[in-house]
Amino acid sequence: MQASQQLKRQLFTVKKLFICNFLMLSALSGFGQMKLIKRMLSEDVDTTRRASFMPLPFLKYSQEVGMEFGLGALYSTYLDKNDPLNRSSNFATILSVSTKKQYNVTLKGDVWTKNNAYHLIGDLRFRSTPFDFFGTGNETLEANKDRVVQHQIRTGLDVEKNIFPFAYTGVSVAFERNTFRDVETGGILDTDPRVLDKTGGSVGYVGISQTYDTRNSNNYPTRGFFGRITYQYAPDIFGKDDFSGSQIKVVLKNFWPLAKKLVLGVNGIYYTIQSNNTPFYLLPQLGNEDIMRGYYAGRYRDENLIAAQTELRYRFSNRFGVVVFAGGGRVFTNGDFSFKQFKPSVGGGLRYFFDPAKGLSVRADYGIGEKRPNEARQSGFYLSLAEAF
């Protein structure tokens, strides 16, 4: 009897300790969460230029892959903390899956050395993703949509050196291997004779670049100009039907401060790829989370792509901002350019700055595109890191 009562007292004591510990941990957890929330909403800006590391659940959305979730980490630092002009170096890692069965492993680095003497950009990606293929050209049809699965390995490195104020000359190397599988045979991927290299292949590039950059920030610029032209050549080193040829990319950006918290930005791009055997997956594609928002990436693809956009950014606090944007663009074959077939893109979005001092943000955008006959108006929602341009 005494043993039974003693056992009951011990169980009661253990139960009290468990409840006390649970309440204490809950209180500490709640206190920690409140501190985290308070810090994330604080208007204070860290001026110490110290490094920041943010491991976080990765959440992203686009119409191409659906809701993408997983684990990510972003490390941002200055290689020269004593130089207020030294730009931030950012490193990102992402491991994710999506509701549309994409699997993605990505490593990215964007490094600015002391005195901004060198700029290095590197990436490594492994991914498996299904996507909708509509054929080639600027007038593809929704009715021709063909579900395709892509497996990709890609890596690249750009190294640029500052040769005189604001100007960088660089070299680059890149390699990618793609394989494709048509989910259902008999679609446009199989039947269209203009579609080359239907099952995939390998390509290796070497290239040169020239950049002129007067922006006051590489993350959230409020003034300055950025211009970059890149030429890459793919020699015939893999044989068979793999791609050999060249591509040119031109990117232009400019930013004007209209008021203390209001910035106007413009962005223009031109991509061209030239070869006698260009695979369909290397053709420039209109539409993504950065430019021509509202269009499914790859809905329109061809030998040339030209697009431009303007964005009005209002950052009403250190943590939050809003944008509205508008633009237009098209793809075309060589010698078939016309302003009459430009496609519109308009929309707006919200911004949350998780590192206000460096201008690092999370953005949510909604873009609206054209309405083709007998089709729903094209549109898309995007949730991603960093500004569109």
Same domain for 35 and 54? no
DSSP letters along 255-307, please?
A: EEE-SSSEEEEEEEEEEEEE-SS--GGGS-EE--SSSSTTS-TTSEE-SEEEE
Q: Nearest to residue 354, comparing CAs of 304, 318, 300? A: 318
Same domain for 85 and 187? yes
Question: What integer is the mean pLDDT of 342-353?
Answer: 97
Question: What integer is the mean pLDDT of 134-151?
Answer: 94
Report DSSP state, residue 139: S
Tokens of 224: 């300055």
Same domain for 195 and 153? yes
**Whole-prediction pTM value?**
0.82
Amino acid at 260: K
Same domain for 205 and 294? yes
Same domain for 273 and 338? yes
Q: Which range, of 66-75, 149-158, 185-194, averages the lowest pLDDT?
A: 66-75
- Give the domain extent around 29: 1-41
Same domain for 21 and 162? no
Cα angle 64, 311, 326 (rounded to 5 degrees) comes to 65
What confidence category does residue 2 fall into, taking pLDDT thresholds of 50, 70 and 90?
very low
CA distance 349 to 321: 9
3-state secondary structure of 111: strand
CA distance 310 to 291: 10
Q: What is the pLDDT of residues 166-197, one digit of tens each?
A: 999 999 999 999 999 998 888 999 999 989 99
Per-residue pLDDT for 99 more than 90? Answer: no
Same domain for 230 and 111? yes
Same domain for 2 and 144? no
pLDDT for 11: 43
CA distance 133 to 93: 28
Same domain for 220 and 345? yes
CA distance 60 to 384: 5
Per-residue pLDDT for 300 more than 60? Answer: yes
Amino acid at 202: S
Q: What is the pLDDT of residues 230-256, one digit of tens each?
A: 999 999 887 666 688 999 999 999 999
Question: Which residues have a Cβ under 8 Å from the Cβ of 203 and sit 6 or more positions away?
Answer: 175, 176, 234, 238, 242, 243, 279, 282
Q: Of 66-75, 161-170, 272-281, 357-366, where does the model show the most confidence?
A: 161-170
CA distance 160 to 136: 34
DSSP letters along 94-109, please?
A: EEEEETT--EEEEEEE
Per-residue pLDDT for 1 more than 60? Answer: no
Question: What integer is the mean pLDDT of 49-65?
Answer: 71
Same domain for 11 and 117? no
For CA atoms 28, 357, 170, 306, the dihedral sign is positive
Tokens of 155: 């890596």
Same domain for 18 and 75? no
Same domain for 55 and 36? no
3-state secondary structure of 319: coil
Using a pLDDT cut of 70, give the percent of the chain over it: 84
Q: Nearest to residue 123, comparing CAs of 168, 91, 79, 95? A: 91
Q: Count the domains in the chain.
A: 2
Amino acid at 151: H
Question: Which residues have a Cβ under 8 Å from the Cβ of 335 and sit 6 or more positions away?
Answer: none
Q: Where are the alpha helices (DSSP H) in 201-249?
A: none
Per-residue pLDDT for 10 more than 70? Answer: no
